[in-house]
Structure 1
Amino acid sequence: MERSPLPDPPPPRAASIGLCAAWSRHAAELAVPVGASLERWAETPSAQSMVADGILVRILPGIFLPPDVLGTAVGRALALGCALGGGLQSHHVIAGPSAAWVVLGGVPPSPAELLSPAHRGDRAGVVLRHARLRPDEVETIGGAPVTVPVRTAVDLLRFSPMSVAGPALAALVLDGHAPAPQIRRHLQGLWRHPGAHAARGRLEEVLGALVDTA
């Protein structure tokens, strides 16, 4: 009796292997070319020179990528996930200055910032803050979780120094990613939270400067 040929084995699940797999299968698949471009260099004068010359971009201390990999929001989000490597957890959400960088581009912030409902972790070059996020405060970009621009703006105002928060917030507002009325409403709902009162004043300071320069 002739036997039917055995079927080919199924391909390995991308979500179970590879960089960014902790986030999603989609992120793992898209991260393959990003991960292949990762460069690990000691923080020597030569590495610093390549960053200064625009040959490499520092994502985390000692971890670099060529700038052409970072031309899209998807590339930037996955770059951070790839740089975290095995330290990436499914509950890590890109937030604060890092979320603004994913949307706007430019120079990656140092330190990078993540939010998590779990306890704080310890990783060089990363600030991991404890927070519980509502589903409407997170979007996925290339399979990577990122705070939506309004939540990003609020976190910038509450936790980042004004030298970081001001330019990023101005760009988010001017580019239409985070309308000022929505930021105000979000802050009003946080009136008992730490930093919310000061954040409202900082928001008006930034918005006033935008009017003055218009």
Structure 2
Amino acid sequence: MERRPRETSLRSRGRRGNAEARQRAVLDAALEVFLAKGFAAARLDDIAARAGVAKGTIYLYFRDKEHLFQALLREAVGPVITRVEGLLPSFAGSTGDLLHMIAELMDREILQTRRKDLLRLIIAEGPRFPWLSEFYWREVVSRGLAIIRAVGARAVARGEFASDALERFPQLLPAPMLVAVIWGALFDRFDKLDTRALLDAHVDILVRGLARRDS
């Protein structure tokens, strides 16, 4: 019997849905295994077992462990950077308000999620795997620094900042986020850090330090 077009379409969508579900399961399992064992010790066999798929299934979507980890980072952090990039063109408020908004997003989307654990893993494993640092630089860090430079230039152009320090040293803004990631891993059980308050305090100090004295 000839298969009807609608039946073929439904089956095709069903296969796509199953494929997407398997890929999702692999990415979720990869996150757990990488965070538990680190990049070097993680094995595709462990990821496949945790995802409930055959090891060969992973190769349908990812060339190797390196490309699987890259896909995990791109999916986890890429949308956050894109959201921050989208704030600048239409934001009409003060630079202080903009920086506080960015800080709030950094806290909510990174420090309060498992993305912070991925960042901690990159800090730990990056020196051993230069490609990992290079990938994270290209996909995340360079884009983030470009955003902060644009904010610094905007502040100077609007007469809000007397100094171009934020444009020259965009690392000033995310510095406390890195402190929070390291603190959380080592000392949070002794002295829990209020990360949102930390970032807000940092922004306040930064804005006051760079502001025009007559503003």
Larger Rg: 2
Q: Bigger relative contact order, structure 1 or 2, given CA contacts below 8 A and separation 6+?
A: 2
TM-score higher than 0.5 here? no
